[in-house]
Structure 1
Amino acid sequence: MSTPGGVPEVKSAVRTVALLELLAARGDRPARLRELAEALEVPRSSMYALLRTLVDQGWVRTDTTGSLYGIGIRALLTGTGYLDSDRYVRLVRPYLDEASDALGETIHLARLDGTDVVYLATRESHEYLRTISRVGRRVAAHAGALGKALLAERPDDGLPLPEGGLTSYTANTHTTREALLADLAGVRERGYSVDREETVAGIAGFGFALRYASPATDAISCSVPVSRLTEEHERRIVAVMGEVRGKIEAFAPAASREVDWRR
């Protein structure tokens, strides 16, 4: 198999990346050798050799018995390096603080990555904690405010949607293309997206695409428990988040000598 540039894939590198992504996705659930070998369809002997190499290098950690494996601290260092080196993340962070102080709710920055959005920064509410909103979390773009804000920036015939149907997170998640397209039409008309318990039961969200790239790849959102979401509070959220978006876009760096990374 070849990469899009026509260069042959390095099988061992592909296997290593797949293993690290699998361990990262498991979070606090460590895996056994057998589970990993079966999930990636790799012989146990090969998987064991790969795991031991990654343990020695700090990319994978193991328990005192040597039978359980999890993601290692080197992965954290690499992820932090990505965030610290990204000019847009650096730009947006202070404005997340501004929105958080003004609203007292949870504020997110996320980036579109294939058919998902990935959380790049979060400011937790002072009123409640949402451990699922951690940096690095992936959510299907069709399911929440952040993703729908970014999908609406694209034509309906060019949406990055998964093959084989849309994943359901709650009873309110759009699971048909028709329902999603109708929602996106509303997003384009309003200028922001609304998630009413589509990703997490009991939580609503309001998403705003950041148009310093075309089409937008980043978005910010405000999440709030539906129990506190009065009409007045919703209007204030929309007003504050819209103002914050305007400030971010006004100060976004123009073309410069900085590297313009492909997402």
Structure 2
Amino acid sequence: MGVADAGGGQVKSAVRTVELLEYFAARPGMHSLGDVQQAVGYPKSSLYMLLRTLTELGWVETDGTGTRYGIGVRALLVGTSYIDGDEVVAAARPTLDRLADDTTETIHLARLDGVNIVYLATRQSQHYLRPFTRVGRRLPAHATALGKALLATYPDEAVRKLLPESLAPLTEHTVTDREQLIEELHGVRERGYALDREESTLGLRCLGVAIPYRTPARDAISCSVPVARLTPGHEQGIREALLDARDRLTLATRHL
């Protein structure tokens, strides 16, 4: 028996486990067995056994009836451990703190994960009117300043391979044509920062810069501001503070 044959069953089980956890992670709340089965396509009997095992281990939770399922607390513990042990997150803390003080706005550190960005750290705005964010949230890279700053560090052909021709809109302002996005990325490279003009959230604008401690870049920082508060002078100050923070964070991560 070959290696693939010997380990085939175990690998299939592992893949199904990860896919199931990612399903719950992307869909907050509780879901019926039928809904989960329809989404993932596993045989209902094997899906039920897998859910029961994950529930016993704390990776999945059930409601009071025991018939609806959602992500469990173990997933939070693993996610927290990832962030706590990440060298970039640790190196970025002083820079994020200073950037939040300098701009008085919400600051993010995020990482490119396939076609999405994942938020690794946030500093909340000092203002009452502020965007809602949370660590671990995922958004399409093409609709965010963070994602566009990171995509701009890739050659055009690499972006074409990564993204489909038609991009899903999050708001009426989202760029949905890949070639139009690539054209915008040319401007990002020239000026050194990316813009999100209410493309991920209505009423919110963002500026983002990639951290070039590796090429292509993996991580970026951004500043999010409600449109009502973004005057030309405030935007210029944020832009200057972001570029300064990028330079300081590049030095802080040069050994990684």
TM-score class, shorter-chain normalisation, is over 0.9
TM-score by length of 2: 0.92
Aligned-pair CA distance for 1:253: 4.2
1:220 paired with 2:221, answer yes
Find the counterpart in structure 2 of residue 145 from structure 1: 145
Aligned-pair CA distance for 1:217: 0.5
Aligned pairs, number = 250
Deviation sequence 1:5-51 (CA, Å, 0-9, x none): xx998111111111101111112x21111111111001221111111
Aligned-pair CA distance for 1:241: 1.1
Q: Which structure 2 residues correspond to residues 16-35 of structure 1 after superposition, within 5 A?
A: 16-27=17-28, 29-35=29-35
CA distance in 2, matches of 1:131, 1:223: 7
* Structure having greater relative contact order (Cα 8 Å, sep ≥ 6): 2
Pair 1:131–1:60, CA change in 2 (3 A): farther
Aligned-pair CA distance for 1:134: 1.1
Find the counterpart in structure 1 of residue 191 from structure 2: 190
- AA matched with 1:10: V
Q: Which structure 2 residues correspond to residues 1-263 of structure 1 after superposition, within 5 A?
A: 10-27=11-28, 29-128=29-128, 132-159=132-159, 161-163=162-164, 165-254=166-255
Task: Indicate the percent of aligned positions where both proteins have the same amino acid.
Answer: 52
Please identify, of 131-140 and 87-96, the stretch whose mean Cα deviation from structure 2 is larger: 131-140
CA distance in 2, matches of 1:216, 1:19: 30
Gaps of 5+ in 1: 256-263
CA distance in 1, matches of 2:166, 2:135: 26
Please identify, of 97-106 and 201-210, the stretch whose mean Cα deviation from structure 2 is larger: 97-106
RMSD value, Cα? 1.9
Please identify, of 8-17 and 139-148, the stretch whose mean Cα deviation from structure 2 is larger: 8-17
CA distance in 2, matches of 1:77, 1:146: 26
Gaps of 5+ in 2: none
Aligned-pair CA distance for 1:254: 1.5
Larger fraction in helix = 2
- 8 Å Cα contact 2:165/2:177 also seen in 1: no
CA distance in 2, matches of 1:154, 1:224: 27
Pair 1:32–1:124, CA change in 2 (3 A): same
Aligned-pair CA distance for 1:131: 6.7
